[in-house]
Structure 1
Amino acid sequence: MVERITVQAACHCRRVRFEAVLVDGLNTARRCDCSFCRMRGAVVVSADSDGIRILEGGDALTEYRFNTGTAKHYFCAACGIYTHHQRRSNPRQFGVNVACIEGVSPFDFREVPVNDGINHPSDRPDGAKGGLAGVLRYEPTSRS
């Protein structure tokens, strides 16, 4: 069952605040191994393009594009935190940084699937999806 939920989110300095309607709650959590995502290191969840609403700080958002320029990556110009991006694989969707969502941490996920962004489907002549590149695991140590 698909669980659409609305979440509140913000960058680190809280200048950029936004609301996102997640297409399947936190069930879409994933990472990517493309050159940019590998360096950014964020866990993202999915929202439709009409499911993001900037509440404050739209003027503080800056955009970064690379390679084909299709994906639009948004960051707070003040604190530098990546908040969300419009996907290259599906421009009708956004990836939302889970670390920006109130009450959620990337360390809440024991396992996060990693998409094969190195072999992006848009770069393949047959259009086949890159698929799963691996799984990122977090195993907390016990604390006394």
Structure 2
Amino acid sequence: MQYKGSCHCGSIEFLVDTDLSKVVQCNCSICKRKFAKMNLLPKDSLKLTKGENNLGIYQFGTNVAKHFFCKTCGIYTHHQRKSDPNGIGVNLGCLDEIDSFTIDSELLNNK
């Protein structure tokens, strides 16, 4: 199914194709602080439709993972995964039709 997503201010918009089968929460140092539920998907499942120039990138440690956020409102929208550079994690809180608080998730132990 295709979902529409955006950051809080609407500067970043995207479409994502997913069946919501791989929903996780991660306990690494950055994800613990974001406290977001993420859907793990192949990289080509996400299509930016607005605001690519407004995407900021945060990297740390090995600089393999890329954490993308809106430069205006600061909302984390998605990231390129360290363990799978061809995979992404999409912040389910950014999807219009999804209530991320009611979706069960698996814990990724990445401490």
Compute the TM-score of the two structures, normalised by the length of structure 2: 0.94
Higher deviation after alignment, 47-56 or 93-102: 47-56
| Partner residue in 2 for 1:20 | 16
How far residue 65 of structure 1 moved from its aligned partner, in angstroms, is 0.5
**Aligned pair partner of 1:115 in 79, 93, 108:** 108
Over aligned residue pairs, what C-alpha RMSD do you find?
Answer: 1.0
**Aligned pair partner of 2:46 in 25, 47, 52:** 52
Which stretches of structure 1, 4 residues or more, deviate above 6 A after TM superposition?
none
Q: How many residues align?
A: 111
- The Cα offsets for residues 61-80 of structure 1, whole Å up to 9 and x where unpaired, read as 10000110000000000010
**Equivalent runs, 1:1-144 vs 2, <5 Å:** 5-22=1-18, 25-109=19-103, 111-118=104-111
Asked if 2 retains the 8 angstrom alpha-carbon contact of 1:20 and 1:47, the reply is: no
Compute the TM-score of the two structures, normalised by the length of structure 1: 0.74
Q: Distance in 2 between matches of 1:112 and 1:50?
A: 22
**Identity percentage of aligned residues:** 33
- The Cα offsets for residues 114-135 of structure 1, whole Å up to 9 and x where unpaired, read as 11111xxxxxxxxxxxxxxxxx
Q: Which amino acid aligns with 1:97?
A: N
Asked if 2 retains the 8 angstrom alpha-carbon contact of 1:21 and 1:48, the reply is: no
How far residue 47 of structure 1 moved from its aligned partner, in angstroms, is 2.2
Q: Which amino acid aligns with 1:94?
A: I
Larger radius of gyration: 1
